[in-house]
Amino acid sequence: MLFFTGVPLFLMELSLGQYGAAGPITVWKCCPLLKGIGIGMLCVSILVCLYYNVIIAWTFYYLGSSFQSPLPWSCDAIANAALCGNGTAGNSSSGRVLSPSEVFWNESVLGVVNSEGLHDPGPVRWPLALCLLAAWIVIFLCMLKGIRSSGKVVYVTATFPYLVLIVLIIRGATLEGSLQGIAFYLTPDWSRLANAQVWNDAASQIFYSLGIGVGGLLSMASYNKFDNNVIRDTLIITTGNCCTSFFAGFAIFSILGHMAWRKGVPVGEVADTGPGLAFVAYPEALALLPGSVFWSIMFFLMLFMLGIDTLFGNMEGITTAVLDEFPHLRENALHKSMFLGALCFCFYLMGLLLVTDGGIYWFTLIDAFSTSFGLIIITLFMCIGISFFYGVNQFCQDIIDMICHCPPWCSILLLYFKACWVVITPFLLLFILTYIFIEMYNTSLLYGSYVYPRWGKALGVCIGATCCLQILIWAIVAISKETGTLKDRFHKSIRPLNSWRVNNLRSTARVEEPERVEAPFTVTLTDMDYTAMSWEMRSEA
């Protein structure tokens, strides 16, 4: 998934944003028929921002709880004496013995023990609601400062996690049962490849971790210099992302191996899957370290900063898309501040459902379907649209124009990417989609031992379908605005607008400019958009 979908699609989206110097909606002036791809990306970003900031709220809660000695989820805490002593207390509904960190997560943080399921959200947990409010206030302040406000923080957030992971790996290697956990981590179970959910998870994880298909990557790339080497950036970012994930696995599975050894159960049964794993296994590992309070504060502070950076990218995708469509909001600082404040406040109100007693069930539902088949369909149409409508040869030439002095290795890699964009990546995405749809009703959605009802899965399917249906809706709108036969309308709607070409000429001038130049323009299709101006003239310019 990384080499045949992740890397090619990452380069495509990065190049498209940098070359067009526009957000996920306006950039499709290169092919107006596919404007719905940008709208679909916007829908996915909204869903991701809705639930992702809840993770930051959990991080806030853990960060505040870390200023206690002993840590409230450690065996040294008096309240956990029974759990760490004979193990008779803290049994889950499935009969599995829970650790103090799992009890703290389920009871103190989530309150999920007070909910029966998706139909029973229960009351809002106000400590979490306050943490969520604080998280959105931080995001609002970051958005006011702009994209450069996160640049300096990255120097810390990009290096400090490695220090924490190294310490956890060293500490985990000294614990009983750690080798069992690492062996479980490195031993593949090939039979799982017959499960469609595994393929779905692989695609969703690659796309989500690299920011593909959610619009944030396009928006962030639009601020790059026009001559930035996108191929070099693609190789560095995708390789670093994958290696970091693999490296982090040693830390968590060494701890899971120790937890399995203590409980006398297989590693696969030691902890529930889902977002709680990072708030169960890692806190338990931190409680075992000397100076656990200090390391817990550092870990959750690091997690908070990383979460802010990630959510900032998604929010940038939303705001850039809206501000590109309504440039008068960008020109007036007061109007922009009011828009950002209203946007964050609306997200906060919608997110209150996810911080109720049963909020984790809704969180898992949105998480499972917001980046599922809908995201894959969006990226599939993006790949097909650029390769066959805009033209893969023209797109490769655009990349060469940006790099200017393209080294020989860049030209060779472009041949590989061209083969992926035209054949390999669409085929693999179609294969995964077919597999997902065949097995969709045979695979149950779970959170722990809770099985989601049919109406819950149906709601999740509607969430995913809403995102990808934007492609069809806006394609019909684009064709209906044209004149002539249906074939003529189609051909007109896939031709780039003149304003796309003019914007590229302005983008070239941005090379020497420190600030991004914004200019209002329209995406309305008229006969004036189709002139005799040739692509050769634009390339020479």
pLDDT in tens, 183-240: 999 999 898 888 777 877 788 788 878 888 888 788 888 888 888 889 989 999 899 8
Using the structure block, give the residue that is written with the tokens 């950002």: 340
Residue 303, pLDDT score = 84
Exposure of 399 in the CB half-sphere (CA atoms within 13 A): 28
pLDDT, one tens digit per residue, over 433-450 is: 888 787 776 778 888 788
Alpha carbons 161 and 251: distance in angstroms, whole number: 12
Q: Is 398 annotated as a binding residue?
A: no
Alpha carbons 411 and 402: distance in angstroms, whole number: 13
Q: Is 241 annotated as a binding residue?
A: yes
Q: Helices 230-263 and 196-210, interaxial angle, to 10°?
A: 130
Q: What is the DSSP letter of 351?
A: H
pTM beyond 0.85, yes or no: no
Alpha carbons 477 and 525: distance in angstroms, whole number: 11
Among left, alpha and beta (phi > 0; psi -120 to 50; other), residue 98 is beta
Residue 379, pLDDT score = 92
Biggest distance spanned by C-alpha atoms of the chain: 82
DSSP assignments along 59-75, one per residue: HHHHHHHTSSSS-TTST
Alpha carbons 270 and 283: distance in angstroms, whole number: 15
Which parts of the chain sit beneath pLDDT 50? 86-90, 93, 506-541
Contact 496, 389 (CB under 8 A): no
Residue 272, pLDDT score = 59
Alpha carbons 517 and 350: distance in angstroms, whole number: 34
Q: Is the dihedral of CA 442, 447, 453, 459 positive or negative?
A: negative
Alpha carbons 92 and 217: distance in angstroms, whole number: 41
Contact 265, 295 (CB under 8 A): no
- Cis amide leading into 70 (omega within 30): yes
Contact 135, 56 (CB under 8 A): yes
Q: Is 306 annotated as a binding residue?
A: yes
Contact 311, 139 (CB under 8 A): yes
Strands (E), 322-384: none
Q: Is 209 annotated as a binding residue?
A: yes
Residue count (the chain): 541
List of domains in the chain: 2-480 (1.20.1740)
Among 240, 280, 239, 275, smallest CA distance to 256 is for 280
